[in-house]
Amino acid sequence: MILSRTSQYAVQALIYMATQPGATPVLNKDIAAELGVPAPYLAKILQSLAKGSLLFSFRGRLGGFCLREDGDKITLMQILLLTEGPAFTQSCLLGLKKCSDETACPLHFRWVPVKKKIIDLLQETTLEKLAKAVESGKYRLADVPGQLFEQIKV
């Protein structure tokens, strides 16, 4: 359950949006610049999150992206299922195509309880919790210096 670069960027971008005041649309290029990620790649990720009903997407001069719901209603699991796909929670740790109680890999029975705990953690972790942790200054978002969030505190 190692997260892909796509998932990492998606989570970072959503945390950034959750730290913005109100439901103000944010431009893809601004998010990419603040996070230090490639803008074209991030645009594709944000469009897929909009198709997955996590974001609103607005075109035009005053366009951009904003969260469809408050951060307390969006879980890390929702984000990862959109970016990693539904097999995210079902895949074998060793990468075998068939791994179940009947056809177990050598780690299956030790991995199942660990995987359940990880899934529970992802389901109870909200975007709001992550955003508050970053805004507190105790945690960083990507490799962005802490002064980024000093600029947006209202």
Q: How far, CA to CA in Å, does 57 sit from each of 2, 13, 37, 45?
A: 28, 14, 19, 12
Rounded (to 5) percent helix, strand, coil in the chain: 55, 5, 40
Residue 145: in which H helix or E strand, if any?
A: none
Rounded distance between C-alpha atoms, residue 19 and residue 21, angstroms = 7
Query: Quick one: pLDDT at residue 143?
Result: 58
Query: Quick one: pLDDT at residue 33?
Result: 93
Contact in structure between 10 and 43 (CB atoms under 8 Å):
no
The pLDDT tens digits along the chain (154 residues) read 578 999 999 999 999 999 988 778 899 999 999 999 999 999 999 999 999 999 999 887 777 999 999 889 999 999 999 999 988 888 888 989 888 999 999 999 999 999 999 999 999 999 999 999 998 888 888 754 444 444 444 3
Rounded distance between C-alpha atoms, residue 11 and residue 130, angstroms = 9
